[in-house]
Amino acid sequence: MLIQFNFKNFKSFREEATLDMTATRITENTNHVVEIGGERLLPAAAIYGANASGKSNVVEAFRFMRTYVVNSFAYGDKDGDRNSQVRKPRRKPFLFDGHSISIESVFEVYFIDSSDEHYKTINYGFCIDDSVVTEEWLNIKAKTAKNFKKIFHREGKIDIDFSGIAERAKENIKISLSDESLIVSLGAKLQIPILKKVRDWFANLEFANYGDSGEDFFWSMSIPDGFATNATIQNDVVSYLSTFDQSIKGFEVKKIPGDNDSTDRYKIYAIHDTANGKRVKIPLEEESAGTLKMFALYPSLNHVMRNGTVFVVDELDSKLHPLLVRNLIQSFSNPKVNKNHAQIVFTTHDPWQLDNGSLRRDEIWMAEKSDDSTSSLYSLADFEDESGTKIRKDENYEKNYLVGKYGGIPSLKSIDMLGEAE
């Protein structure tokens, strides 16, 4: 489970920002709290904020870190076919002060390794500028230990402390390490167990951006692995969709043969019951936008629930009814459903989720942009008003949010298309 994600100097976040999944001592929805590895963790984090406040940048920063960890073993590789090289993602530092562009960006996580019964806490992070990895570290703490044990600490490419790495593995890493690659990424490629464990945790994260029209279209056209030919998977999808649309009773899949060099394509029909007892077939692409989105969400939801990983979603509420969003959130908070302690981190504009009992104060986060264009991130559990008073659990969160008590809302003026307003 994710404990904490920290980042600095990424897009609108100039200063360090922290998304903390640790449960505070507040008393509402105590059933949400998961006690594991000596930590008290939460299954959900909802990030609110005005347009351009920086809430999507939290998701993007986490996604950037994942991409760099998973792929960086290939960065800077000038051998072989140029087309085979993995493209390094572009760093996006804060640009509005004239000097942050020359300062390194920082990314760090704490998470519980639940792959065995020891439930070790892993701390991993790195710093990069536009050219090289300037620092990287990995520390591990056993469930019963007080302090972290250093596995490695790196400053640049040469100054590396390999305290927790076997001697033979050290030499293999040193030979292959480039200025742009991460030790964790390279070490996983070299099958070094502890480094592969960290890389695999990142690889199993799921991301979706429903605020990006291109990515949204991609997800709407995708189908779960094995869906086209496996009746069991189709039945699982029917059961999943029945949580909001009980008229869908099954699917019919027709194969559309491709050319010799192309992959097969499939035409999918949803089978519906009608009021007169008959059944009709509707092409999947003609279903509602909400149904298509839920269909697209299935593979990721299925993966994180089965594997106990993290689902990070930008604009979860897009095209979905608030009750359906609540149902999704509550599935992560229900220990009978979420048996493997999966987590969801999502951005949203839906204020109704604030006051329906789905979320604790420490599961509600606000992204706020200041006059100097810098963003900050804070939870309602930590928020204090101008008098230093914290939010009570009996407050109307939705109302207070919409009137601006907690920040995270736009500053509005009249939309005057004709320029005639006084």
Query: Where is average pLDDT lowest: 271-275, 282-286, 340-344, 406-410?
Result: 406-410
Establish if 128 belongs to a structural domain.
yes
Q: Are 75 and 178 in contact (CB under 8 A)?
A: yes
Cα 310 to its chain centre, rounded Å, is 6
Q: Look at residue 332 and tell me whether its pLDDT is greater than 70.
A: yes
If asked whether residues 336 and 241 sit together in one domain, one would say no
Task: State percent of the chain over pLDDT 90.
Answer: 55
pLDDT band at 84 (very low <50, low <70, confident <90, very high): very low
If asked whether residues 304 and 172 sit together in one domain, one would say no
Dihedral sign (CA 222, 223, 224, 228): negative
Burial of 301 (0-12, 13-18, 19+ CB in 10 A): buried
Establish if 339 belongs to a structural domain.
yes
What is the pLDDT of the chain when averaged over all its residues? 88
Task: Tell me the three state secondary structure of residue 151.
Answer: strand
Q: Which is nearest to 182 in space by CA: 167, 168, 202?
A: 202
If asked whether residues 268 and 352 sit together in one domain, one would say no
If asked whether residues 264 and 194 sit together in one domain, one would say no
Q: Look at residue 176 and tell me whether its pLDDT is greater than 80.
A: yes
Establish if 328 belongs to a structural domain.
yes
**8-22, 144-158, 272-286: range with highest mean pLDDT:** 8-22
| Stretch (H or E) spanning 400 | helix 397-402
Establish if 214 belongs to a structural domain.
no
If asked whether residues 246 and 329 sit together in one domain, one would say no
Task: Tell me the three state secondary structure of residue 106.
Answer: strand
pTM: 0.90
Q: What is the pLDDT of residues 383-412, one digit of tens each?
A: 877 777 788 888 888 888 888 888 776 665
Establish if 216 belongs to a structural domain.
no
If asked whether residues 13 and 43 sit together in one domain, one would say yes
If asked whether residues 91 and 189 sit together in one domain, one would say yes
Q: Are 69 and 60 in contact (CB under 8 A)?
A: no
If asked whether residues 158 and 230 sit together in one domain, one would say no
Q: What is the pLDDT of residues 284-313, one digit of tens each?
A: 888 888 888 888 889 999 999 999 999 999
If asked whether residues 401 and 288 sit together in one domain, one would say no
Establish if 217 belongs to a structural domain.
no
Domain count, the chain: 2
Calpha distance 273→271 (Å, rounded): 7
Helical residues (DSSP H) of 282-364, grouped into ranges: 289-307, 322-333
Q: What is the pLDDT of residues 4-62, one digit of tens each?
A: 999 999 999 999 999 999 999 998 999 999 999 889 999 999 999 988 899 999 999 99
Host domain of residue 258: 222-308
Establish if 315 belongs to a structural domain.
yes
Q: What's the confidence (pLDDT) of residue 80? A: 42
Establish if 166 belongs to a structural domain.
yes
Strands 206-209 and 159-161: unpaired
| CB atoms near residue 20 (< 10 Å) | 21
Calpha distance 154→135 (Å, rounded): 5
Q: What's the confidence (pLDDT) of residue 41? A: 97
If asked whether residues 72 and 106 sit together in one domain, one would say yes
Q: What is the pLDDT of residues 107-143, one digit of tens each?
A: 999 999 987 777 899 999 999 999 899 999 999 998 8
Q: What's the confidence (pLDDT) of residue 218? A: 63
Domain closes at, from 248, 273, 308:
308
Q: What's the confidence (pLDDT) of residue 81? A: 41
Q: What's the confidence (pLDDT) of residue 383? A: 86
Dihedral sign (CA 329, 332, 141, 169): negative
Domain of 49: which CATH number?
Answer: 3.40.50
If asked whether residues 233 and 374 sit together in one domain, one would say no
Q: Which is nearest to 164 in space by CA: 146, 154, 149, 148?
A: 149
> Phi, psi (5° rounding) for residue 267?
-105, 120
Query: Where is average pLDDT lowest: 35-49, 80-94, 354-368?
Result: 80-94
Domain closes at, from 268, 292, 308:
308
If asked whether residues 76 and 113 sit together in one domain, one would say yes
Calpha distance 289→296 (Å, rounded): 10
Domain closes at, from 291, 308, 325:
308
For residues 73-98, give the mean pLDDT: 75
Q: Which is nearest to 207 in space by CA: 304, 119, 317, 133?
A: 304
